[in-house]
Each structure stands twice: as structure tokens, then as C-alpha cells.
Amino acid sequence: MVANKSILKDVDRVGVEKLTLTNFRCYETAKIETSLRPVVLCGPNGAGKTNILEALSYLMPGKGMRSAKLSDVTLLKKSDSGIVPASRLWSVFAKVNRGDEELNVGTGVERISNIEGHYSERRIVKINGEQAKSQGELGNILTTVWLTPAMDRLFKGGSAPRRSFLDRLVYAFDSEHAKRTASYEHSLKEWTKLLKEGSKDGRWLGALEQNMGEQGIAVAAARREHVARLDKFLNPDEKNVFPRAKIKLDGLVETWLDNMPALEAEEKLKQQFFNARRLVAMNNNVSPDGVHKSDLQVFHQEKGLPAETCSTGEQKALLIAIVLAQATSQALNKGFAPILLLDEVAAHLDEKRRDALFDRVCNLNAQAWITGTDVDMFKKLQERADFFHVEDAKLKRIV
Ligand SMILES: Nc1ncnc2c1ncn2[C@@H]1O[C@H](COP(=O)(O)OP(=O)(O)OP(=O)(O)O)[C@@H](O)[C@H]1O
Ligand SMILES: [Mg+2]
């Protein structure tokens, strides 16, 4: 299926109309107003472009685009005693426009003191002025998908970043997925620790194995379903500019689900952990197979090559193809596209691919926030986007 204007005509545009940052990274305060079209942020290195995208990534549940500690995000300032955090905590507020609805969404950090005079920080979320019970409520209002320069290395090295990338994509469709993944990983950590400490608490170990069995199969099933969902939208664009990506899940548990019902696979996974108890207790380097080892494999379909052997630009184009498939599939399934955070994406693309990307973004009815150092790269977006020059943590609209 090709993502064109006709199949997306009933999709609502979800966009940030106003964004206000306070004490966020290099910004003491910053305000941006948009016309809900794509937003281009241009300026020199270190200007504050990526920080804006990171702020937007906090409008979705999770740890944000840089997986930063909450305390690292607060504005740091020079003082007589060195570099210190700004006295006030950081916040990100957005007026979100969704079809004919307007919602005020905010997130930031709250400091909680305890009796001994120590304090801890936690992230809070407000929706239309009311504190939300959990970050999860943000996912019902908007979702974001990002591509960053750090992801240029996604296809090289270990599977963990690829797994996280896929899990984030699944999460936009299934808000329970993050909880299940976290619960599985928490149980696995606890189980491994108990065994290494020589624990003989069979009941507790059994309870953890039960949880890993249940959560693990649910995680595997959700990943399988999402890979199949994305596959339908990974066809090339009409002009055949982006490569056709082929994606595949490489995981033992995921393959079990090809051949057996979920309940049987759950029992098998539980049993596998039970059988591995002795080995894990005796050997520091042993970890049983499970959904924590699954991988997302990506191929360049026409060339038949795995993504890691493709050129830098081809790898970027494959990632873009996946993100566009996600956006199209989400737009059709949920009725609104995600906000796309595209950090320095234009840099590795030739002119033809760059322009095709801009066309696809505009056709998707998605608000993309795109950064770059050179404004000339975005010429083809001139009449179709809001442009801002960013320098020294100041934003100026370019007309
Ligand atoms: N907590 C913080 N407090 C103050 N400044 C910060 C904080 N965290 C990061 N910065 C600074 O913010 C500045 C802007 O960073 P950002 O990553 O947004 O730059 P950029 O415009 O994307 O640059 P590039 O083109 O190099 O990617 C950097 O100089 C960085 O050191
Ligand atoms: Mg940057």
C-alpha cells in the first residue's frame, strides 16, 4: 500500500500550536508558536535545536529522546561556586491542536523532600490543568517518533537499541507494552540477582518465572503484530525514492509463536527459566534466552542486503522508510499521525531523497519538527513550513 494523499484524507492533523520551555537545557524560557505545519529549526552547532526536539519528546511517556536523567535536563548556569542547576525546576508546556480539539499538556519535574532533609525528583504530567494519574495518559493525546544522529549507528553493534526502537513504535499502538516490557525486565533482574546470591527461595523464584512467562509472551506477541502491521506500509513511495525496507523479528520466543498457541509458549518460557536456575547460579556470564535478547533485523529489499552493510545514506533512508510506515499506519489506525522529530535527517540524504521526505511528511498531515544547520537544504519546504533561526538559545521566526 502506498501512502498517498487519498488514503490519508480523513486523518486529523495533530500538532503543537504553542510550545513553552522553562529552565529546559540551554533555555531559561523559550516560546514558539506554529501554524501546525512542519517546523524547520536552523542554526549553528550548539544553538539549541536538538534541545527543542528533546523537549517535545517529553510530551510522550518515557525518558525522552536522549534518555536523560531528570536532573540533567534542568538549565545549568555559571555561578561563583561553579556550574549549578537553575533554582527552578524545568517544565515543557504545549497547546496541542487535534482536529477540532485543543488541549493543554504540560510536563516537568517536582521535587519531594523527605524528613531527613533529602529530596528526590519525579516527573509530573498535567492535562488541561489537572495532574494526570500517570504519564501514560499523554499517549492518548499525542505520540512522537524521532530520528536522531545517534540512531545512525542503530544497525551496528548489539541488539538493545534496535529492540528499544521497535518497542517505542509498538508502544504508540499498545500503551500496555512499556509496562509489560519493564515488568519482564524487572523480574529477570531480580531472578538473576537471587540466583547469584545463592537464594533457595523456590516460591519467589517461581513467581518471578511465572511473571516472565506471562509478560514475555505478551511482549513477543505485540512485537510480532506490530512488525506485520508496519510491513504493509513499507512499500516504496510513488517515485520509488526510498528503498523498500524489509523488517523481521529475530527472537526465539517470537518464533515459538509461529508454531504454538500463546498459553503453551508461556508455559515453555516459564519452564526454560526454571531449567536454567542451576546454570545461572553457577556461571556469571549465563543468561537464558528470552524476549530480552530479541532483535529487529532490517534489510534493503531490492539489494537483498542487511541494513548494516548498506551505505550511511541508505541506512538513513531505511530508517526513514520505517518511521514513515509507522506514521502512516498510526494515522490510519488511530486517526491522527504522530509528531515527527527529525534531528539532522537531511544531512545524509541527497537532494532527491530530501525532497521526497518533505513531500511524504506534508502528505501525511503530520507535524514534523526538523533541524539542520543549513537553511538552503529546506528550500523545497519554503511555502509549506514555519521556519525559525536558532542561535545562542534564542529563536527568531524567519519570514
Ligand atoms: N542542562 C543544560 N543546561 C544548560 N545548557 C545545556 C544543558 N544541556 C545541554 N546544554 C547546552 O545546550 C546547547 C545546545 O544544545 P543542542 O544539542 O540543542 O544544540 P544543537 O543546536 O542541536 O547543535 P548541533 O547542531 O551541534 O547538533 C549546547 O551548547 C549544550 O552544551
Ligand atoms: Mg543537534
Helix (H) or strand (E) holding 113: strand 101-113
Ligand with the closest atom to the CA of 85: 1
What distance in angstroms lies between residue 105's CA and the mean position of ligand 1's atoms? 24
Angle between helices 252-259 and 202-231 (to 10 degrees): 80
Tell me the mean pLDDT in the region 342-366. Answer: 91
What distance in angstroms lies between residue 47's CA and the mean position of ligand 1's atoms? 6
The tens digit of pLDDT for each residue in 154-188 reads 999 999 999 999 999 999 898 889 899 999 999 99
Q: Cα–Cα distance between 206 and 209 in angstroms, integer?
A: 5
Name the residue type at position 232. Answer: K
Q: Is the pLDDT of residue 238 over 70?
A: no
Q: Is the pLDDT of residue 94 over 70?
A: yes
Ramachandran region, residue 392 (left: φ > 0; alpha: ψ -120 to 50; beta: rest) = left
Q: Cα–Cα distance between 144 and 198 in angstroms, integer?
A: 44
On average, the pLDDT of the chain sits at 92
Query: What pLDDT is stored for residue 236 in this prediction?
Result: 62
Classify each residue of 275-313 as buried b or exposed e, where b means 16 or more C-beta atoms within 10 Å of its C-beta.
Answer: ebbeebbeeeeeebebbbbbbbbbbbbeeeeebeebeee
The tens digit of pLDDT for each residue in 305-345 reads 999 999 999 999 999 999 999 999 998 888 888 999 999 99
pTM of this structure: 0.93
Minimum mean pLDDT range among 108-112, 139-143, 170-174, 239-243: 239-243
Domain annotation for the chain: domains and CATH numbers: 1-155+332-399 (3.40.50.300), 162-309 (1.20.1050.90)
Is 168 in contact with 62 (CB distance < 8 Å)? Answer: yes
Q: Cα–Cα distance between 118 and 354 in angstroms, integer?
A: 51
3-class DSSP assignment, residue 340 = strand
3-class DSSP assignment, residue 393 = coil
What distance in angstroms lies between residue 38's CA and the mean position of ligand 2's atoms? 18
What distance in angstroms lies between residue 329's CA and the mean position of ligand 2's atoms? 28
Q: Is the pLDDT of residue 11 over 80?
A: no
The tens digit of pLDDT for each residue in 125-136 reads 999 999 999 888
Nearest ligand 1 atom to the CA of 390 is: 21
Q: Is the pLDDT of residue 89 over 50?
A: yes
Q: What percent of the chain has pLDDT over 70?
A: 96
Q: What is the DSSP string of 256-272?
A: HHHHS-HHHHHHHHHHH
* DSSP β-ladder status, 39-42 and 386-391: parallel
CA of 226: how far to CAs of 61, 221, 229, 323, 348, in Å?
19, 9, 5, 13, 28
Q: Band of the pLDDT at 3, cuts 50, 70, 90?
A: very low
Q: Is the pLDDT of residue 398 over 90?
A: yes
Find the largest Cα–Cα distance for the chain.
70
Q: What percent of the chain has pLDDT over 90?
A: 75
Query: What pLDDT is stored for residue 237 in this prediction?
Result: 62
323 Cβ partners below 8 Å, 6+ apart? Answer: 145, 147, 340
> Within 6 Å (CB) of ligand 1, which residues are found?
25-26, 43, 45-51, 72, 74-76, 373
Ion ligand 2: protein residues whose beta carbon lies under 5 Å: 50
Q: Given 3-state DSSP classes, what are the helix, strand and coil percentages for the chain, each rounded to the nearest 5?
A: 45, 25, 30
Tell me the mean pLDDT in the region 26-41. Answer: 96
Q: Is the pLDDT of residue 2 over 60?
A: no
Query: What pLDDT is stored for residue 243 in this prediction?
Result: 86
CA proximity to 55, closest of 26, 98, 24: 24
